[in-house]
Amino acid sequence: MLTAILVAAGDSRRMGFDKLFATIAGRPVIAHTMRAFESAGSVSEIIIVAREDRRDEIKRIVQDENFKKIQSIIPGGKHRQDSVRAGLDHLEATARYVAIHDAARPLITAEQIERVFEQSRIHAAASLAEPISDTLKYANSEFFVTSPVDRHQLYAMQTPQIFERRLIEDAYRAVYAENASVTDEVSAVERLGRKVILVPNKDLNFKITYPRDLALAEFVLTQRIQAAAN
């Protein structure tokens, strides 16, 4: 019923090395991400969109971890949206819902996936999102503060973002028909004038972007593993 597309084709320019294969809590980053979707009861299959030069390495991880739901490991495109489109082109005919998730978010849990899926079945489009708690400011080109930003009802978008299949396919067709650019799937669906419900998330689900993020992810995952063992 639910197919997950894990986007893993980035070049990690800000990291300086391929962050998806850095080891945290005993496994590569991408292995933790795959395990969460493997464990989610609603997920029937997983498509991984990867860099061409990393596909064999991902295949080895799948074999080592004995993952059963990963059906395809396909090459990605130049931009994130191109990789998502490639994943959509590989959906099975039976897929009714599609989850898109950044593989560089290894702290995602099966419980979070299920929460977003539940809302997508009600509203056709749902996304995990974190309420903004920091004080925000506008600044000019010289970095001087110009005005405050009201953080009330502001959210940082996360993944997974889960949609009815027809909706996300229509959204992506419109993006490419109009030669548009989007940074996430919520943006693509918004272009159709459709509403997306947010699922507030107060647990950690950050994207690995800088080297410092690896140490924090290692700590969080280690704490979770220890808690599960007790």
Q: Summarize pLDDT for 174-220 with one digit per residue, the tens.
A: 999 999 999 999 999 999 999 999 999 989 999 999 999 999 999 99
DSSP state of 50: E
- Percent of the chain at pLDDT exceeding 90: 90
Which pLDDT score is estimated for 109? 97
List strand residue ranges (DSSP E) for 132-230, in order.
136-139, 145-149, 155-164, 197-200
What pLDDT shows up at residue 15? 63
Average pLDDT over residues 101-114: 98
Among 206, 95, 107, 198, which residue's Cα sits nearest to residue 154? Answer: 198
Kindly report the pTM of this predicted structure.
0.95
| Mean pLDDT along residues 163-180 | 97
User: Looking at residues 54-81, what average pLDDT do you find?
Assistant: 95
User: Over 70: is that where the pLDDT of 55 sits?
Assistant: yes
pLDDT of 51 > 80? The answer is: yes
Per-residue pLDDT, 17: 66
Question: What residue ranges define each of the domains in the chain, with the CATH number in brackets?
Answer: 2-128+156-229 (3.90.550.10)
Beta bridge partners of 197: 126
Summarised one tens digit per residue, pLDDT across range 17-46 is 689 999 999 999 999 999 999 999 999 999
Q: What distance in Å separates the CA atoms of residue 91 and residue 102, rounded to the nearest whole number?
A: 17
- pLDDT at site 14: 61
